[in-house]
Amino acid sequence: MAAGPAARPGGPSPGTARPDTAGLDTAGLDSARQLLADLPPSAAVWCSGLRKRYGRRTAVDGVSFTVGRGEVLGLLGPNGAGKTSVIKMLLGLVRPDAGEVLLLGRPGQDPQARARVGYLPELFRYQPWLTAAEVLALHVRLSGTAVPAAEQRDRLALVGLAERAGDRVGGFSKGMQQRLGLAVALVARPELVVLDEPTSALDPLGRADVRDVVLSLRDSGVAVLLNSHLIGEVERVCDRVVILDKGRVAASGTLAELLGARELRLHLEGVGAAAEQRLAAAGRLTRSGDWFSVALPDDDEAAGVPDLVADLVGHGVRVHAVEPARISLEERLLGILRDGERR
């Protein structure tokens, strides 16, 4: 006997009559709607097992991660690690050889999902004969979203181009075109913004402006996927980081998870047995000459520092310096990549 089609998860079995909802009272329907409304929203990005080969070269090999609503996730890695290929697969610009993608709860190939995504590619070019305002108006029409002209002008003001709205793009510097690209990514009220090297052509002031924009997007509940070589910018704005190396996820997590606990470095003189015991009680202790490093516990990194210093002085220790310390994201990234090279 031939087997029938498999039931879809969460749906009725094949051949089973659908329940008759005509007899349900209004209160029951309202209760069901409320239950659905109370469900948490789906992730802004969900991808699993993404793979992509170009000829004999494997560019992406089994990449999986998520980006939550209102979260900023940084994508890091050296040139050729597969970051841009992953982004293009997420957005449907490149077809993966294997793996699945969901954007805002819909399959990645669904145009309705991509309609709510703003994208700033690494390399782009706008028609030089158009003005900045005309570029924005064109992309609003392409998106199919009704965005009033005043709101479009607000987007140009947000990226510092309010006074150049009527100027032709052909006369813009690289930095100004980068700002315009950011305005285009934001103009159609996206729920997910993907930024591929958004500060590559910007000066320090421009990078600070982009950082403020990213933080404001997060505060308004918009998810951001940020690919950048500027590790300091990633460290300032990202909630989590995914590190790619040779097409694979080499490490991922929050900054605290990746960088470890904070340390306290102290330059001390006259440390006796009692003082050293007090230092060891504060956390894991290492010593190099007159410099002592104490790994502080995660739950109370700074609150106990004044008491520690006071106790050391009470033990007759001369305190010359007290410095907070933590491994930088750049150091962590280099360590992961070097470990990968050794393996």
pLDDT tens string 89-136: 999 999 999 999 999 988 888 888 888 899 998 888 888 999 999 999
Query: Can you tell me the distance from the alpha carbon of 267 to that of 147, in angstroms, rounded to the nearest whole number?
Result: 59
Report which of residues 268 and 144 the model is more confident about.
268
Res 30: pLDDT: 66
Contact 211, 205 (CB under 8 A): no
Q: Which amino acid is at 6?
A: A
Query: Can you tell me the distance from the alpha carbon of 87 to that of 71, in angstroms, rounded to the nearest whole number?
Result: 17
Report which of residues 76 and 36 the model is more confident about.
76
Res 2: pLDDT: 44
Radius of gyration of the chain (CA): 26
User: Which of 25-29, 118-122, 168-172, 180-184 shows the lowest per-residue confidence on average (mean pLDDT)?
Assistant: 25-29
SS3 content of the chain, % helix, strand, coil (to 5): 40, 25, 35
Q: Is 322 exposed, middle or buried (0-12, 13-18, 19+ CB in 10 A)?
A: middle
CATH of domain 261-326: 3.30.70
Contact 73, 30 (CB under 8 A): no
Which tokens go with 208?
Answer: 């600070």
Query: Can you tell me the distance from the alpha carbon of 254 to that of 298, in angstroms, rounded to the nearest whole number?
Result: 14
Report which of residues 89 and 233 the model is more confident about.
89
Q: What integer is the mean pLDDT of 246-267? A: 82
| Continuous H helices in 254-295 | 255-259, 273-282
Q: Which of 287, 71, 226, 105 is nearest to 279 (CA)?
A: 287
Query: Can you tell me the distance from the alpha carbon of 105 to that of 134, in angstroms, rounded to the nearest whole number?
Result: 32
Q: What integer is the mean pLDDT of 170-177? A: 89
The structure's pTM equals: 0.71
Query: Can you tell me the distance from the alpha carbon of 61 to that of 53, in angstroms, rounded to the nearest whole number?
Result: 8
CATH of domain 45-257: 3.40.50.300
Numbered ranges of CATH 3.30.70 in the chain: 261-326
Tally of CB atoms within 10 A around 124: 13
Each residue's pLDDT tens digit, 13-33: 444 444 555 555 676 676 666
Residues contacting 258, CB < 8 A, separation 6+: 241, 243, 251, 329, 332
Query: Can you tell me the distance from the alpha carbon of 281 to that of 318, in angstroms, rounded to the nearest whole number?
Result: 19
Confidence of residue 198 (pLDDT cuts 50, 70, 90): confident
- Assess whether pLDDT exceeds 50 at residue 182: yes
Q: What integer is the mean pLDDT of 77-92? A: 90
- HSE (side-chain half, CA atoms, 13 Å) at 89: 27
